[in-house]
Structure 1
Amino acid sequence: MAARVLPLAFLCLMQLIASPFLVANADDGTSFDFYYLVLLWPGAYCTQSKCCPPTAGPPANDFSIRGLWPYSTLSGEPVTDCNSNPWSINQISSLRDELNLHWSNLKCPSNDGVGNWKSAWKTYGVCSGLNETQYFSTALQLRAKVDILALLAKKAIEPSLLYVHGVSDIENAIREGIGAAPLIRCSKGPLGLFQLYEVYICVDKDGETIIECPVKQSFTCSEEIFFTPFNLTSINPIDMVVAN
């Protein structure tokens, strides 16, 4: 009996080791293949529900960071919750001003964003192989490097409720600037029409090199979409629509 149980247990162990679930939740923080840099347009975000100004002051009138997600090509899923590396706000004290501008939290009630950053670190950052300071610094540097708002402006694609823009035009403007195709995510905006919501950009494990996405998320957009303005003086979505 014992001679038959041992091979069976061994085979079960090998199957578990090879499972995508374990690959996507590895403990060493290195079992991922690329990053998704996810950039959120706050003008679209604030049409979904009421937004509140952060307690640290208004964010930049620009695309903000939603996340920097390690991703597994094998599982097609984000790599999350790899370990229990501690969170400390002191580790990002030198980055607070930039984070307030470019990785803020517009949820109500008004908040200082710390809970958002802690969640990002505990969920995704611990899987990046970077320390806490490096993780947030890398995300900020990548956002500045791609500069989506400037790339769109070069092609006369600017926030407005008077015009719609082709999704392909938006994709091409960004591709021309960064050398790889972005993924565009839309949401329903004013009058129930689609609007630019998020831009996904794939980055190599080195945290620097923009690459073509090994895994492509499937998002629904119409052929033409709005680029909804973000009004810093009044971030109530109803006021935004009326003001523009």
Structure 2
Amino acid sequence: MAARVLLAFLCLVLFASPFLRVNAQDEDEDDETDFDFYYLVLMWPGAYCQQSKCCLPTTGVPANDFSIRGLWPYSTAYEEPVTNCNSSPWNATEISELQDELNLHWSNLKCPSNNGVSNWKKAWKTYGACSGMSVAEYFNTALELRENVNILSLLAKRDIEPTLLYLYSVTEMKIAIKKGIGASPQIRCSKGPEGKFQLYEVYICVDNKDGKTIIECPVEQNFTCSDFIYFTPFNANNLTTTNYNNPIDMVV
């Protein structure tokens, strides 16, 4: 009797094993989630440093310009970025040739002063690994997109420049950017001086097929802004190194 039960069990395992292998393969394929476009997210450091303590990166003075927060694969079906895919492990040596540009335009201003590597590693593991690009391609694509859109220059053409003397129209900001890039941006605000809103981030949508073509955003984020906002000044030369004698400077 026991022999017949064992024989039946072995037959069941042999019969089911091809299906188990197929299912396992399907699960592996599902690890790579499809996405519909990229969000290029550019942050204005003046707003960031107005609401958080900023420190000079150990790699030197960053640019007085919009910095890259990320290049995010985005799924319209799930209405959120696609994150934490299981592929392409982080390798810092792959971005060694991009180091100077990253230090200027994708720096980490958090305190204590740092070299930005942990920030890039987090960006890659969270978003980059889902992009379908290699490590070098991902960071190089983000840098090239930032340079091509040149938000600061587009705003300046319509006399929109960092100042606390007056507020700017969000509509005018969007028009200035759209005129330059050919598509409507999305503007995210944060609370600034006097409790008023300020320009914090600009979201630009990029085609997922080539990672280069700017497109109209398929979705609209529900960011909270007032009609008129501050464009808070920023001067990277005023950043200071971490003072380890002051416990406040150790807060991240």
Question: Structure 2 length as normaliser, TM-score?
Answer: 0.82
CA contact (8 A) 2:87 2:130 kept: no
Q: 2:222 aligns with which of 210, 218, 225?
A: 218
Aligned mates of 2:239, 2:114 — CA distance in 1: 15
Structure 2 residue runs without a partner (length 5+): 1-25, 241-252
- Mapped to 1, the partners of 2:238 and 2:222 lie a distance apart of 33
After superposing on structure 2, the runs of 4+ consecutive aligned residues of structure 1 that deviate more than 6 Å are none
State percent identity of aligned pairs.
69
Query: In the TM superposition, what are the counterparts of 1:57-72 in structure 2 within 5 Å?
Result: 57-72=60-75
How do 1:5-154 and structure 2 match up within 5 A? 26-28=30-32, 31-154=34-157
How far the C-alpha of 1:113 sits from its partner, in A, is: 0.2
2:204 to 193, 196, 201: 201
Tell me how far apart the structure 2 counterparts of residues 208 and 26 of structure 1 sit (CA, whole Å). 26
CA 1:230–1:26 in structure 2 vs 1: closer, same or farther (change >3 Å)? farther
Q: C-alpha separation between the residues in 2 aligned to 1:96 and 1:232?
A: 18
User: RMSD in angstroms over aligned alpha carbons?
Assistant: 1.7
- Corresponding position of 1:3: none
Match of 2:237, SS state, is coil
Residues 98/26 of structure 1: CA separation in 2 closer, same or farther (3 Å cut):
farther
Q: Which amino acid aligns with 2:238?
A: S
- 8 Å contact kept, 1:46–1:235: no
2:69 counterpart SS class = strand
- 1:112 and 1:204 map into 2 onto residues whose CA distance is 31
Contact 1:186 1:219 in 2 (8 A): yes
Offset at residue 215 of structure 1 (A): 1.5
Greater shift after overlay, 79-88 or 155-164?
A: 79-88
Q: Distance in 2 between matches of 1:66 and 1:86?
A: 20
| 3-state SS in 1 of match to 2:199 | strand
* 2:180 is the alignment partner of 1:177: yes
Deviation at 1:26, TM superposition (A): 4.3
Report the Cα distance in structure 1 between the residues aligned to 2:69 and 2:119, rounded to whole angstroms: 10
Equivalent of 2:167 in 164, 171, 187: 164
Distance 1:79 1:60, change over 3 A: same
- CA shift, 1:85, in A, is 2.2
Is the deviation greater in 103-112 or in 215-224?
A: 215-224
Task: Give SS of 1:83's match.
Answer: coil
- Tell me, which stretches of 5 or more residues in structure 1 are unaligned? 1-16, 237-244
Structure 1-normalised TM-score?
0.85
**Cα distance in 2 between the residues matched to 1:34 and 1:47:** 31
- Does structure 2 retain, via aligned residues, the 8 Å contact 1:52–1:109? yes
Q: Match of 1:12?
A: none
Q: Counterpart of 2:154 in 1: which secondary structure?
A: helix
SS at 1:226's partner residue?
Answer: strand
Corresponding residue of 2:21 = none
Question: Partner amino acid for 1:140?
Answer: L
Q: What is the CA deviation profile of residues 108-136 of structure 1, one whole-angstrom value per residue up to 9, with x for unaligned ones?
A: 00000000000000010010000000000
CA shift at 1:191, angstroms? 1.1
Work out whether residues 84 and 130 of structure 2, in 8 Å CA contact, stay in contact via their aligned partners in 1.
yes
Offset, 1:232: 1.9
Distance 1:52 1:123, change over 3 A: same
Between the aligned partners of 1:45 and 1:223, the Cα distance in structure 2 is: 20
Structure 1 residue 235: Cα displacement: 3.6
Across the two proteins, how many residue pairs are aligned to each other? 214
